[in-house]
């Protein structure tokens, strides 16, 4: 035992350096393990977020497609209604033209009076 004590007394600096190196190594290893666990946790979190974003994107694509098809249906309906309205307008214009031509031929004075009252013109001969 005395010999061990003498050995420690003569090499205490070297032993202290070895103990400190061992302590620093253990602490470094624990810190490294903590960083590895934190990295793994953040990687899993990012993967979950990416999956959530993919799912959200897919839902948005489906909603966009539905909205686009609904838009196309409405455009078709409005275009048909517009075409019907144009046809009705053309028919009413044609009927009105025939009516005014017949009025002018049949009753020129009534035609002049109608134009004067409707547009505010004054008939000059």
1 within domain boundaries: no
4 within domain boundaries: no
84 within domain boundaries: yes
46 within domain boundaries: yes
**% of the chain beyond a pLDDT of 70:** 100
Whether pTM exceeds 0.75: no
What is the distance between the alpha carbons of residues 29 and 52, in angstroms, rounded to a whole number?
35
5 within domain boundaries: no
How would DSSP label each residue in 3-14? HHHHHHHHSHHH
Domain total in the chain: 1
Segment 57-76 shows an average pLDDT of: 96
Q: Are 111 and 105 in contact (CB under 8 A)?
A: no
Task: State the pLDDT at residue 125.
Answer: 73
49 within domain boundaries: yes
User: What letters, b where the CB count within 10 A reaches 16 and e where it falls short, cover 71-106?
Assistant: eeeeeeeeeeeeeeeeeeeeeeeeeeeeeeeeeeee
34 within domain boundaries: yes
Q: Are 15 and 8 in contact (CB under 8 A)?
A: yes
31 within domain boundaries: yes
| Structural domain for 59, as ranges | 15-119
């Amino acid at each position: 035992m005395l010999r061990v004590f003498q050995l420690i007394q003569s090499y205490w600096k070297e032993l202290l350096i070895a103990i400190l190196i061992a302590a620093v190594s253990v602490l470094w290893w624990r810190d490294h393990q903590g960083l590895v666990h934190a990295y793994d946790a953040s990687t899993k979190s990012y993967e979950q977020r990416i999956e959530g974003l993919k799912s959200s994107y897919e839902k948005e694509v489906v909603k966009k497609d539905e909205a686009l098809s609904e838009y196309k249906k409405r455009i078709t309906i409005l275009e048909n209604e517009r075409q019907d309205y144009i046809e009705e307008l053309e028919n009413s214009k044609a009927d009105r033209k025939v009516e005014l031509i017949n009025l002018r031929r049949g009753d020129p004075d009534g035609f002049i009076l109608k134009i004067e009252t409707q547009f505010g013109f004054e008939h000059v001969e």
